[in-house]
Chains A and B, each alone.
Chain A
Amino acid sequence: MDAQTRRRQLVAALGRVAAGDRDALRLVYANTSAKLFGVGLRILNDRSEAEDLLQEVYLTVWRKAARFDESVASPISWLVAIARNRAIDRLRSGRVARASLPIEAADDVADASPSAVDLIETGQERARLNDCLRELEDRQSAAIRAAFLDGLTYDELARKSAVPLGTMKSWIRRGLLKLRACLER
């Protein structure tokens, strides 16, 4: 099934979830839970926390599916946003032991190649972001990827890269400015 067909299916399923259709939620879960579990594990680095997160995410989807707007986001980017927000809230609550993260975590940030088997966005959207990320300095794009994938604060990112906080903040903010300009072109 191509990405567009899958996207249309998920849009339709979310519409049915909004109307209280449990089978539609099961369909959304079957198609997206492995991706969201991967995202949650990466941020939380704890299986049981990631399982609780997943439950929280799909219960949120159950209640708030009516808020999904396909003109603003694709289904998967909406779901990823919910999962990341909840995961980061869990991290910041201090209940998850961040110390358990291997220190090398910051080094494998360049692995975010588009080779993943499940293409979650249309090729166009993916190519666009990757093109724009390539226009950034390596350290800027690496910091942005690390922040997104691992859910680290400025402070944690700075410590892992052994640079002053202000430097890390500057890398990311300058990167974001360039990224925004490029994405809006």
Chain B
Amino acid sequence: MSDDQTIGAGEDRDFLAAEYVLGVLGAEERRALELRLEREPELATEIAFWEARLAVLAEGVAPVPPPAEVWQRIEARIAVKPAPEPGGLWQSLAFWRPVALASAGLAAASMAGLIYLAQIPALGPPLVAQLDEKSGQPGFLAASNPADGSVTIVPAALITGQQQQSYELWVIPPGGTPHSLGLVDPTRPVKVAVPPELQPHVSVDSTLAITLEPRGGSPTGQPTGPIIANGKLASL
């Protein structure tokens, strides 16, 4: 920044978020800023401010219909096994509700049923985890599905829904930092697609945790709210 004769380099950081959104930063400056986002929520807020305001400028760009094969490529990449029929046993909270009333031992036993229901093909050993609440009671059960790299999360307790907040699932490799796997629903089973880059973290001894976050999930990319339940992945 030595060639900046008009505004002192000390002011650089005040402009970083706007300059990031505008797109005038180089690759290294962009990466450095993205790394800071994990720890500095105010920077993320500042970026969101500019992204929301400046997006209007894109109106000046004429839409161009993309070729049909682009969607076909996307569709091929998101293809997973068809979701279970709505209303089926799998989706039925009533089926899982008794788990909430059962002891931890019974909940563990029901994991076998969970795996059975998931009908996981023999592509590798599925992993399971019992996510306990602070009280020690099981809050959620989780099973990985090696066939499509997903994790199924089943509520095992009647958690009072927090309408204004979201439940976010995290995977934490041993000694590592949390990575978001997306939002889960405390009232019904949810199948979470794990992005390819995070799949190596879904392994034995990694921790799965669910935190209470602002609606839509953590704004910072790291957990910001209290841990609702957590537990370690183990092979079946």
What residues make up the interface of A, taking CB atoms closer than 8 Å to B? Answer: 18-20, 22, 25-26, 29, 33-35, 37-39, 41-43, 50-51, 54-55, 58-59, 62-64, 66-74, 76-78, 80-81, 84, 88-89, 92-93, 111-114, 116-121, 125-126, 129-130, 144-145, 147-149, 151-154, 157, 164-167, 169-170, 172-173, 176, 179-180, 183
Contacts and interface: CB of A to CB of B under 8 A. Distances in A.
B236 to A, nearest CB: 24
B121 interface: no
Interface string B33-55: 00000000000000010011111
Interface residues of B, number: 61
A112 B59 CA distance: 7
Contacts of A93: 27
The 3 closest A-B CB pairs, nearest first, are A112-B60, A77-B55, A69-B216
Contacts of A130: 56
Contacts of B64: 34, 37-38, 41
Contacts of A180: 18
Nearest to A30: B71
A28 to B, nearest CB: 11
Interface string B117-158: 000000000000000000000000000000000000000000
Contacts of B185: 19
B6 A81 contact: no
A80 to B, nearest CB: 5
Contacts of A112: 57, 59-61
Contacts of B168: 66
A113 B60 contact: yes
B4 interface: yes
A73 B26 CA distance: 25
Contacts, number: 203
Contact of B193 (A20, A144, A147): A20
B30 interface: yes
Given A69-B216, A72-B48, A147 B70 contact: no
B178 interface: no
A89 B30 contact: yes
Interface stretch (B74-82, B202-210, B226-234): B74-82
B88 interface: no
B225 interface: no
A133 to B, nearest CB: 8
9 contacts: A20-B193, A22-B78, A54-B66, A63-B193, A70-B216, A71-B216, A80-B55, A148-B54, A151-B23
B37 to A, nearest CB: 12
